[in-house]
Structure 1
Amino acid sequence: MRVLQLIDSLEAGGAERMAVNMANVLSDSLEGSYVCATRQEGLLKASIKQNVSYLFLNKQHKIDVQAILKLKRYIKQEQITIIHAHSTSFFMATIMKWLNPHLKIVWHDHYGNSSFLAERPYRVLAFCSRYFSLILSVNPVLETWAKNHLKCKQVVYLPNFAIQEKETVKLTQLKGIPGKRMLCLANLRPQKDHHNLINAFQIVSSQYPEWSLHCVGQDFKDVYSESVYQLVNQLDLQDRVFFYGSCPDTQHIIQQADIGVLSSLSEGLPLALLEYGLGQLPIVATHVGHCSSVFPKACHEFLVLPNQSQLLAEQLLVLMKDLEHRKTIGKLIYQHVLTQFSAVAVRDKLLQMYSQL
């Protein structure tokens, strides 16, 4: 089998990271493992393993004839049999299917706003879905939605997974006092609700002013990110809340942190939580999407309702005041993530599904 992971960009987002992770994990088990970025390159390009072939299309328009022909030639040249399309790249995959009917299309649904599916636009997706051989959904809610709204007969829930690198890049040095750092791995998007997090941090920092909050993720330089910075200034937290943009050394950053937090309004199955877990961080997160699956039952108290800064602050305080409790919770989550979200288990499931196609 020769499988191409198709993704719009290689910026450091969850879907993008999963596309690269899958190509890397499958590279030793397939005859050919490939990554193709259609629109934009990014930090994750450096994470692609040497035995994974890479193509960049530099697509400029919705229907970009040059990009379409370039991908068509590449698929023929490399004798690719399966396109595994992630998120919005499904349209390009469908065009390839029209040009080469023998291709099998797997579409991977990473939709982060799974709490607001009633508002999801899907007319084009529904049309294209008749050409899919398989749909993979990152949580059971998305699986049910695909079965009810799309035209593909085979829909399967496949959890995300995170990979622990043996050697980590060490570039980013977190500010603040070691042992007193809170980390949020999330691009600056409204769905991630940084306002909720910053308001919660304001509450806890009145009791623990030595703690700092570190936000790592892409800044889109838009109205939302501007409003986040304004709130930090308003609350006079500039010396305790720090922004780093996208960083290539996530694992190294996690090693410097003491609590992982995610304050989203909506999620699919966030990779950030799995990465916190592998780094043995204790976590506080909002109870949205499939976040609860990352927490063993003994840690469910650290799941709070979205948009409730006071509740978020209360659970953060439980961890901030007790180092030994932080270590215990971190280890419990680590063991749970290792057993439930192993890359090996997902690889084996994927290989089996590809073979059946």
Structure 2
Amino acid sequence: MRVLQLVDSLDVGGTERVAVNIANALSTKIETSFLCATRSEGMLKQSLNAGVGYLFLNKKSTFDISAVKNLKHYIEQNNINILHAHSSSFFLAVLVKLRYSKVKIIWHDHYGNSAFLNNRKSKVLKLASYFFEHVLCVNQTLKDWAISNLHCKHVNFIPNFAVSVLNKPETQLKGIEGKRLVHLANLRPQKDHETLLEAFAILVKSNTDWTLHCVGKDFNDDYSRQIKQQITALKLEKHVFLYGSKPDIAHILKQSTIGVLSSKSEGLPLALLEYGLANLPCVATNVGDCKKVISSQTEGFLVEKQNSYVLAEAITKLIKNKDLQETIAKHLYKKVTQSFSEEAIINKLLTIYKQYI
């Protein structure tokens, strides 16, 4: 079995990390595992195992004929059976299949705005789905949508899994040890940094030595500028720190005390699984499949989205109770390692792959 993960970039993001995690995990399970970054490289390139075959296409446009030819040649040359396309890379996968019908396409839907599927632009995706052998979805909502809207008979829910990647430590968090909140999320509107900042402004009044550490890609766009202006307006410059993308996530989490996730919409967030692996207690909004990870109050707190008061209250409850922090961290770690382990998810994936060999 020879499988290639196809992904737009290797920037630090949920979709990209899942693609890398799968490629790495498969490198010891199948004959050969490959990964292709189509548009850009990024920090995650250094996380690829040596046993993973790697191709960068440097694709310049939607209809980049050179990229199509190069990928087709690579697939033929390496006798690749399955093209596992993540998110928007499905389009390139279909263009390749039109030239090389032997390869089987499995499409992985990571759509983060699953709470707003009515707004999804999907005409091209629906046409492309005639060429998919199988669709994998990161939550049940996306699975239901795929069954109703796509032209593919085989659809499965495959949860994300997290791994602790021990890259060289390089990021030193500011603030006081034991009093740091961490938020792993790119600066995108769906991650709702606004509500998190409002909540932090409330709780820091009575917890003045606590700090908030936001780690994720800064796109330097309107949303980014809005968040930075909000930090200034709330006079949080000495308490809130933006780090951008970082490769040493495990090291960052080791320095943190409580994990938070304030999203308006999610699939099954990798950040939540990473908090669990890092033995962090956490507070998250009740969106997407967060409830599959935090299914009881012994595993963390789930709160209403876009409500800064309930978010602040839940975080404060953890801040005030170290025993509760330890209890939740222990139970969440157990949940993540048992239900969202690499071994369990990869075995499910291999069962699906084997249908098309």
TM-score range, shorter chain: over 0.9
1:265 shift after superposition: 0.5
Amino acid at match of 1:327: E
Structure 1 residues 157 and 2, CA, compared in 2 at 3 Å: closer, same or farther?
A: same
Q: Which residue in 1 is equivalent to 2:72?
A: 72
Aligned partner of 1:204 in structure 2 is: 203
Structure 1: how far apart are the matches of 2:112 and 2:295?
Answer: 22
1:340 alignment counterpart: 339
Deviation at 1:296, TM superposition (A): 3.5
Displacement of 1:325 after TM fit? 1.1
Alignment of 1:115-194 (within 5 A): 115-165=115-165, 167-194=166-193
Partner in structure 2 of residue 6 of structure 1 = 6
- Structure-2 residue corresponding to 1:99: 99
- Tell me, in whole angstroms, the C-alpha distance in 2 between the residues paired with 1:17 and 1:342: 15
1:198-251 CA-partner distances (Å, limit 9, x unpaired): 000000000100000000000000000100000000010000000000000000
1:115-169 CA distances to partner (integer Å, 9 max, x unpaired)?
Answer: 000110100000000100000000000000000000000000000000124x442
SS in 2 for 1:239: coil
Equivalent AA in structure 2 for residue 47 of structure 1: S
The answer to whether the Cα contact below 8 Å between 1:2 and 1:30 also exists between their aligned partners in 2 is yes
Are 2:299 and 2:331, in contact at CA under 8 Å, matched by a contact in 1? no
Instruction: Provide the rounded CA distance (Å) in 1 between the counterparts of 2:7 and 2:241.
Output: 30
Match of 1:17 in 2: 17
Q: Could you report, residue by residue, the CA deviation over 1:48-98 in whole angstroms, capped at 9, with x for unpaired residues? A: 000001000000011001111111110111011100000000000111111
Residue 307 (structure 1) aligns with: 306
Matched-pair contact (CA < 8 Å) for 2:285–2:305: yes
Q: Take 2:194 and 2:290, find their aligned partners in 1: how far apart are those partners?
A: 19
Other-structure match for 1:252:
251
Amino acid at match of 1:98: L
In the alignment, residue 254 of structure 1 is paired with which amino acid?
L
Q: What does 1:108-119 correspond to in 2, within 5 Å?
A: 108-119=108-119
- 1:74 and 1:17 map into 2 onto residues whose CA distance is 23
Check the 8 A contact 1:39/1:59 in 2, yes or no: yes
2:319 matched residue in structure 1: 320
Count of paired positions:
356
Structure-2 residue corresponding to 1:280: 279
CA distance in 2, matches of 1:93, 1:168: 31
Counterparts of residues 211-230 of structure 1 (less than 5 Å):
211-230=210-229
Q: Which residue of 2 aligns with 1:269?
A: 268
Separation of aligned partners in 1, 2:146 and 2:14: 20
* Whole-Å separation in 2 of the counterparts to 1:103 and 1:57: 18
- Secondary structure of the corresponding residue to residue 297 of structure 2: helix
Q: Distance between the aligned counterparts of 1:214 and 1:134, measured in 2? A: 39
Task: Give the C-alpha shift of residue 301 in structure 1.
Answer: 6.7
Cα distance per residue 1:317-345 (max 9 Å; x no partner):
00001112111111111101111101001
Q: Distance in 2 between matches of 1:295 and 1:273?
A: 9
What code does the residue aligned with 2:191 have?
K
Equivalent residue number for residue 81 of structure 1: 81
Q: Which amino acid aligns with 1:349?
A: K
**Structure 1, unaligned runs of 5 or more:** none
Q: Provide the aligned C-alpha RMSD in A.
A: 0.9
Note the 1:53-64 alignment, pairs <5 A: 53-64=53-64
Measure the CA separation in 2 of the matches of 1:299 and 1:102.
49
Structure 1 residue 273: deviation in Å?
A: 0.4
Partner of 2:291: 292
CA distance in 2, matches of 1:343, 1:356: 21
Aligned with 1:203: secondary structure?
Answer: helix
User: Which amino acid letter does the alignment assign opposite residue 292 of structure 1?
Assistant: K
Please tell me whether the aligned partners of residues 296 and 332 of structure 1 are also in contact (alpha carbons under 8 angstroms): no
CA distance in 1, matches of 2:9, 2:312: 35
Distance apart, 1:30 and its partner CA: 1.0
Q: Distance in 2 between matches of 1:301 and 1:320?
A: 13
Deviating 4+ runs (over 6 angstroms):
none
Question: For 1:317 and 1:77, how far apart are their aligned partners in 2?
Answer: 57
Query: Kindly tell me: are residues 131 and 294 of structure 1, through their superposed partners in 2, closer, same or farther at Cα, counting changes over 3 Å?
Result: same
**Mapped contact 1:285–1:303 kept (Cα < 8 A):** yes
- TM-score scaled by structure 2? 0.98
Give the partner amino acid of 2:152. C
Per-residue deviation, 1:300: 6.8
Tell whether the 8 Å contact from 1:292 to 1:300 is kept in structure 2 after alignment. no
User: Identity, % of aligned pairs?
Assistant: 52
Unaligned runs of 5+ in 2: none
Question: Is residue 137–residue 156 contact of structure 1 (8 Å, CA) maintained in 2?
Answer: yes
Whole-angstrom distance in 1 between the partners of 2:270 and 2:304: 19
CA distance in 2, matches of 1:249, 1:180: 20
Q: Report the equivalent of 2:29.
A: 29
- Is the 1:33–1:53 Cα contact (8 Å) retained in structure 2? yes
Q: Residue 233 of structure 1 corresponds to which residue in structure 2?
A: 232
In the alignment, the residues of structure 2 paired with residue 344 and residue 38 of structure 1 have an alpha-carbon distance, to the nearest angstrom, of: 28
Structure 1 position 298, deviation (Å): 3.3
> Aligned partner of 1:155: which letter?
V
Distance 1:93 1:193 in 2: 32
